[in-house]
Amino acid sequence: MSVRSHIRLPAGEFTYLDEGGGPPLVFLHALGRNADDWAPTIEALSYRWRCLALDLRGHGGSVRCERYSFEEMETDVRAFVDALELDRFALVAHSMGANVAWLLAAGTPDRIVRLVIEDTAPPVPGMTFPEPPAVPPEPVDFDWEAAHQIVGQLNDPNPEWMDGPARVLAPTLLIDGSSDDMSLNNVLSKLPDGHFIEITVGHHIHQTAPTEFNAAVETFLSDTEYTI
């Protein structure tokens, strides 16, 4: 059973789930979700790995901030793994969390031993995401300002992010939820050690098809080369 813990990082107090033992495996969630979003996957994998799912800033029990960006969230995750003394670890990430993971894996390629990206290519100029309304249409359990700032960044991305995958040294599994989406195929061509599968159930693969998703991640992480 996952234990929800608290940790003090430079940006403030953060909460995270911690379950299992063995090599560390860090999970990063989507916008508007939190660490609990990964509970079924953690349950499936914690028999072999120490599963750590962080509530990113503005989400779950973690600190609310004035600024929300992929770069600041990457800084938070670096502080998190440093505080837990995780020199090397595997990383599983989805949507907003995947954009954070792309930055982290490109910026610290020697620390990531395996990378799993769920249905998320780095944002590119020209993509357009609908702006969130001024106030949420229904109650939410995260800082709504995060939605405004993150969507704003998606609509005006740093062009250098497109080059990030080429700097990722870790074996990387791309799990694509949309059979007609070429963006992840384009990313695959840039990765030094990329792997690709399709589970065509839409963007939220780990929720919609948990059995298939968990099996794919487990198989990928179980490679005999996964060592710390």
**Position 105, amino acid:** A
pLDDT tens track for 25-75: 999 999 999 999 999 999 999 999 999 999 999 999 999 999 999 999 999
Q: What is residue 196's DSSP assignment?
A: E
Q: In the structure, what pLDDT confidence band is assigned to residue 182 with cuts at 50, 70 and 90?
A: confident
Residue 177: its pLDDT value, please? 95
Furthest CA-CA distance within the chain: 49
- The whole-model pTM stands at 0.96
pLDDT of 228 higher than 70: no
Residue 94: its pLDDT value, please? 98
pLDDT of 227 higher than 70: no
Q: Three-class SS string for 144-187?
A: HHHHHHHHHHHCCCCHHHHHHHHHCCCCEEEEECCCCCCHHHHH
Residue 224: its pLDDT value, please? 55
Pick the CATH number of 3-221 from 3.40.50.300, 3.40.50.1820, 3.30.43.10, 3.40.190.170: 3.40.50.1820
**Please, are residues 45 and 111 in contact by the beta-carbon 8 Å criterion?**
no
Q: What is the mean pLDDT of residues 119-134?
A: 92
Whole-angstrom Cα distance, residue 117 to residue 78?
18
Return the domain boundaries, the chain. 3-221
Residue 3: its pLDDT value, please? 82
Structure tokens at 226: 């996964």
